[in-house]
Structure 1
Amino acid sequence: MDRRRLFLGHVKSLLPTNPLAPKGPHRRHPKMLPDGARERLLETVNAARDRLVVTWLADGGLRIGELCGLHLVDLHLRENAACGECRAPHLNVCHRPGNPNRAEAKTKHRWQIERGTVTGGLIKRVSPAMVHTYFEYVTTEYLGGAGYGMLLVQLYGADTGRPWVPVGARRMLGRAGKRAGLGPVKPHAFRHSFTSAVLDAADGNLLIARDAGGWASAAMVDEVYDLEAEWTEGAIQRITTENTTLKQRVRQLTTDNRTLDERLKAARSNLRFQDRRMADLEAQITNPSQGVQ
């Protein structure tokens, strides 16, 4: 239950998070990855770094700027990490506008480093596949980041070891998509697929999708994925009936409230009269010579 969505709590004590949420698979977003794209891409790419990119975009729902902007200290890939913010393996996505590769997270949650441990930022859980590709990458290809401490680095050419720029990751995915017969693959397509999968698993719960994907609001998720388009006629009729009942109840409560308010005003007037009468009686007792007025 989502208590932030409770409407007229004095009328109903419980309300489903989204009573109109359609059951079963949701409508595909037009910019989602084709079916089986992840597997075909993993078979096509050659470097462990590139397999990490595909896996982390698919399983983490990361934006490409968030992924390329990760530092090694942002990774808490074991249970009960020192940050104490999440028991499961996770990432702390931090907004760093000064990254040398100009990659930065879109979200700007507050974060800090305490005794070498990052806390705060946007916390995103990681899958076992993400952990596996990370260790494959750092044990076979990672070149130390040339002292920058960033996760993704250039593997070839004059800039070997320097932080990998987002445009490099985009181009890698585009080339891999063409070789796999998928056409140009864009990083954000992974995010659409991820969010749609979360909505399917959560029965359309917008808050879960918002938190899992790091969206600004549940309303934005609803707008982007157009869940209203999937509402059935029965669901619409049900919510219309519930809405009519609630409106009637609101009108009744408004009338009751007005009646109670009038009674309260009358009671306060009577109380003021009684207070004045008591004051007069006290004055007569104190000075009997005045007599009854």
Structure 2
Amino acid sequence: MEQKNFFFSIIMAIYNVEEFLDEAITSIIDQALDFEHHIQLILVNDGSVDASGEICLKYKEAYPENIVFIDKENGGASSARNEGLKYAKGKYINFLDPDDTLSPSTLLKVYDFFEKNYSKVDVVSIPMMMFGKTSGPHLLNYKFDKTRLVHILKEHTGIQLSAPSSFVKKEAVKNHFFNEDMAYAEDSEWLTKIIMKRQVYGIVSEGQYNYRRREDASSATQTGKNDKKWYVDYLKNFSRELINHSITTLGYVPRYIQYMIAYDLQWRINIEDRTDVLTDKEVEEFFDLLERILAFIDDDIIFEQKSLN
């Protein structure tokens, strides 16, 4: 059997996505970079009760040397991604969501950038374009003006929150797993800690991550506002955790982290109409924690927010 030289391991955490899964998998098989020689696809079926498992098996049978199929009990996206990491053999790793796709030239462009800048970066990110219920560029696409390096201590607005639209060196991921106790922003927390080690990451403006906004509004980011964990747990596990991590590793909270926290708070602070989700005591706890977090964010960082009312 020919020894594969995998440039990429694409890990997909799969849960009840039979409607979209073929499209996601096909976008990897049809890459300009030779799939059969250079791409490993790791399909982790996280306890799906629809036909997702059968779809995975169909592709596993078609490409037995490239595709790893893992069937496990439901444990959440972080659990599935952590399981997939155990099987990754590629030089670079990505976590494509199973209802999204990559543009055909993405892996080739990202590979070329990584090879030219291998000693400088552990992470390379690409623009996100939304499709489905809403379409158009993601709010944070402004930084993708050209293919380049982003030095986070010099360019504090160049925040990168999405792990699925990023590619990470396998050697940078060693012993760095997703927090399985987090229901939201677990990929952002994971990615940010990796980026902070070098304080620089790469962006490839020619790549494209196609991010599906589901018509039934069933994705985690679309349903989160109706979940208690979207509020206090999020502030503890993401905002406060990144503040604590910054102080521990750098001795202060850099403006890049401040900007990231301020940007992401906008989806949670309008909770006057969340009385059906939070008790009065939980609302009080939320605002108390929010006040303590805001103490670490400069006023001008808050005023810089482009999408904050």
The interval holding the TM-score normalised by the smaller chain is: under 0.3
Higher relative contact order (CA 8 A, sep 6+): 1
Larger CA Rg, structure 1 vs 2: 1
The structure richer in strand per residue is 2
Q: Give me the TM-score of the superposition, normalised by structure 1.
A: 0.28
The structure richer in helix per residue is 1
Q: Give me the TM-score of the superposition, normalised by structure 2.
A: 0.27
